[in-house]
Amino acid sequence: MEKEDLPLEDVRILSLAHVLAAPYGTMVLADLGAEVIKIERPAIGDDSRTFGPLVDDQSGYFISINRNKKSITLDLKKERGKKIFGELVRKSDVVVENFRPETMEKLGFGYENLKKIKPDIIYASICGFGHDASPGYENRAGYDIIAQATGGIMDITGQPEGPPTRVGSSIGDIFTGLYMAIGILTALRKRERTGKGSRIDLAMMDSIASALENAIVRYTITGEVPERMGSRHPSIAPFDAFEAKDGWVIIAVGNDSLWNRFCEATGFEKLLGDSRFETNDNRSNNYNALKPILTQWTRNKKVSEIVDLLTKAGVPSSPVNTTAEVVEHPNICHRGMIVEVEQPEIGKIRIANNPLGMTLVSKDSKIKPAPLLGQHTTEVLTELLGYSKEDIKDLKKEGIV
């Protein structure tokens, strides 16, 4: 599927984003066809260009989240660079950034100033605690681990006897990037209807708090502070990771009907008559008695035996896959979730695909590789702003691009 068939083909986004949160969101929009122009510092670029693993001095980290984008270099601290940025704003629909609060204001490109350049501009920002933050948090730096800590998810992640644990993926960045993409799509729809732009202010702490699922409502209703429980579910049982002879297996008995099936398939019919385990609520309240019984059974079987047995019985179960097993998993491969891109100066690299499977967006769409630093500077300035090649030579001499 060519780019012109994609649903956001007529949307242009200026991205001042760096590292992960906003770049992840703009990657999703680029996958949907938006033209994302990534503005980077001359000679330096996005910090994540130096993050490992490196292949021929290119960052696999950067490659994995900056596909389908264009890169131009521009020094926004120089007046001529500011002028060019303003010209680009006039030609764009959205401006995205994830600097600390006040950075864009200091550069002269806060939302109010952007509106003067283009009244219907959509401006989306991401930072740790929001541009509208409470006293003491107005200009604090925020990384994913800070968001996971302040947002509460670390306190409920990990084993009961262990320390608070960061979720293995940078979900503070990723959730916020996805919310940003949703916000931008909503703002584009609003502009279609009203002709007005929007200001989108996202805080990573907010995104983590929104993802606490039932932890918040458990606290507000019961007054009890949720604690770390390992992999078990706080109100469904058995819904946990169990040790097997050769690894770990997930057993997810989500209701009483599944509990009946589980017991019949595993030879635990005697548990069906045990009042401690008769209902889901009882099983949850008596889980400390139930888990050792089930663990004694799982430890004597291989993961594959347990999964095959329970799958045939219609009881949800799964091995705990490593990243290597995920990359080669038949269903992941069947659904096109691992794609190969031809990266300039490196060659073929496999990365994760966009999971959106819709009739409007085919997973067979050709993915463009992540751009080299400043790869599209000449293209964008000549085609979009009408600069001559001599103009660009001058800009390069001055260190502006």
Structure-block tokens of residue 107: 């550069």
pLDDT attached to residue 329:
96
Across the range 125-130, mean pLDDT stands at: 96
Q: Quick one: which of 29, 23, 31, 107 has its CA closest to 71?
A: 23
Q: Which residues of 115-132 are buried (b: 16+ CB within 10 A; e: fewer)?
A: bebbeebbbbbbbbbbbe
- What's the burial of 255, exposed, middle or buried (CB within 10 Å: 0-12/13-18/19+)? exposed
Reported pTM: 0.93
Q: In degrees to the nearest 10, what's the CA dihedral of 198, 170, 51, 105? A: 30
pLDDT attached to residue 3:
42
312-338 pLDDT per residue, tens: 999 999 999 999 999 999 999 999 999
Q: Looking at this protein, which amino acid is placed at residue 373? A: L
Q: Give the C-alpha separation, 393 to 209, whole Å.
A: 48
* Active-site annotation holds for 246: no
Most distant CA pair in the chain, distance: 85
Q: Quick one: which of 317, 321, 320 has its CA closest to 258?
A: 317
Q: Give the C-alpha separation, 169 to 162, whole Å.
A: 19
Where do we find the tokens 């996958």? 31
What confidence category does residue 213 fall into, taking pLDDT thresholds of 50, 70 and 90?
Answer: confident
* Mean pLDDT computed over every residue of the chain: 94
Q: Give the C-alpha separation, 144 to 155, whole Å.
A: 15
Q: Answer whether the bond into residue 238 is a cis peptide, omega within 30°.
A: yes
Q: At what angle do helices 256-266 and 303-312 cross, to 10 degrees?
A: 120
Q: Give the C-alpha separation, 357 to 338, whole Å.
A: 14
Q: Give the C-alpha separation, 133 to 203, whole Å.
A: 9
Q: Quick one: which of 211, 152, 153 has its CA closest to 178?
A: 211
* Domain annotation for the chain: domains and CATH numbers: 3-210+341-397 (3.40.50.10540), 239-324 (3.30.1540.10)
Q: Identify the helix (H) or strand (E) that includes residue 285.
A: helix 280-285
66-99 pLDDT per residue, tens: 999 999 999 999 999 999 999 999 999 999 999 9
Q: Residue 361 gets which letter from DSSP? A: S
CA distances for 307 relative to 189, 190, 364, angstroms: 45, 48, 32
171-199 pLDDT per residue, tens: 999 999 999 999 999 999 999 999 999 99
247-256 pLDDT per residue, tens: 999 999 999 9
pLDDT attached to residue 253:
97
Q: Give the C-alpha separation, 97 to 5, whole Å.
A: 27
Q: Where are the alpha helices (DSSP H) in 111-247?
A: 111-117, 144-150, 171-194, 204-210, 215-222
Give residue 267's region: left, alpha or beta (phi > 0; psi -120 to 50).
left
- Annotated catalytic residue, options 93, 173, 206, 240: 173
Q: In degrees to the nearest 10, what's the CA dihedral of 305, 307, 311, 314? A: 110
pLDDT attached to residue 364:
65
What confidence category does residue 5 fall into, taking pLDDT thresholds of 50, 70 and 90?
Answer: confident
136-165 pLDDT per residue, tens: 998 888 899 999 999 999 999 999 999 999
Q: Identify the helix (H) or strand (E) that includes residue 389.
A: helix 389-397
Give residue 149's region: left, alpha or beta (phi > 0; psi -120 to 50).
alpha
